[in-house]
Amino acid sequence: MWRKALGVRGRVWHDTQVPGDDALVCVAVVDDHPMTRRGVAAILTDAGGFAVTASTPDPGELGDLGAFDLILVDLYLEDDTPCVPLVARLAATNRVLVMSASRRQGDVRAVIRAGAGGYVTKQSDPELIVSAARTVAAGGFALSAQLADILKVELEQDPEPDTGPGRLSQQEARVLDMIAQGFTHQQIAFRLGIKKSTVDTHVERIRVKLHAGNKADLTRIALERQRRGKA
């Protein structure tokens, strides 16, 4: 079984011979540097479990976004302006992992607020890029330890109030901590010895209590709560 060919347009290529294996994560790479695109594609392909089915410097050439399980996006495309609006648009329908040479606090925070599932620097080891891609593709949140430290500093300088109407239960706090570590709902269920549906219920309660939107919001809140030493 083979996936339907997506064709070729302009500077973007689409792989027309991708095995129709449900275990494969179909990835699009958006970066204005050809060598970076080829390098990332090689890293993911060699790791196994990924099929890089599109590579382009122009996100407008991706076509049907529903064809991708994960989109890797360079934060700075062709100019010095971070493409945060693009990240927000893609994250509304797809799981997005941002790659960038930037380690600026503002960039990290803006990307998380835009709904990206993760952020890795281009200086990261290949193993970290693969791990982050797998985590985000599975619905988790990935952030390198160095960038997590940057985000914590940002939170300390500009903390947001805990607006929840009540404290979390011990189990809800455990679930929130695991979400901050990048675990998927299924992985959390396995580690806590409960059903995934129970984890889903906990997450919904957490969102109501803390007025959190997406998983990135939950992660930010978890880091802030840890900084303040809350249970």
Q: Is the pLDDT of residue 29 over 80?
A: yes
85-114 average pLDDT score: 88
Label the pairing between strands 13-14 and 50-56.
antiparallel
Query: Do the Cβ atoms of 107 and 206 come closer than 8 Å?
Result: no
**Which band of pLDDT confidence, cut at 50, 70 and 90, is reported for residue 213?**
low
Verdict on whether the full-model pTM lies above 0.75: no
The residue ranking higher by pLDDT, 92 or 18, is 92
Query: Do the Cβ atoms of 49 and 23 come closer than 8 Å?
Result: yes
Integer CA distances (angstroms), 114 to 18, 85, 229, in order: 31, 7, 27
pLDDT one-digit tens code per residue, 155-197 = 555 544 444 445 777 788 888 888 777 778 888 888 888 888 8
The residue ranking higher by pLDDT, 25 or 203, is 25
At 138 the pLDDT is 87
118 three-class SS: strand
Query: How buried is 162 (Cβ within 10 angstroms: 0-12 exposed, 13-18 middle, 19+ buried)?
Result: middle
At 169 the pLDDT is 77
At 39 the pLDDT is 95
pLDDT one-digit tens code per residue, 46-94 = 999 999 999 999 999 998 999 999 999 999 987 788 999 999 999 888 9
Which tokens in the block code for residue 158? 């500009």
The residue ranking higher by pLDDT, 147 or 19, is 147
Structural domains of the chain sorted by starting position, each given as residue range(s) with its CATH number in brackets: 13-154 (3.40.50.2300), 161-227 (1.10.10.10)
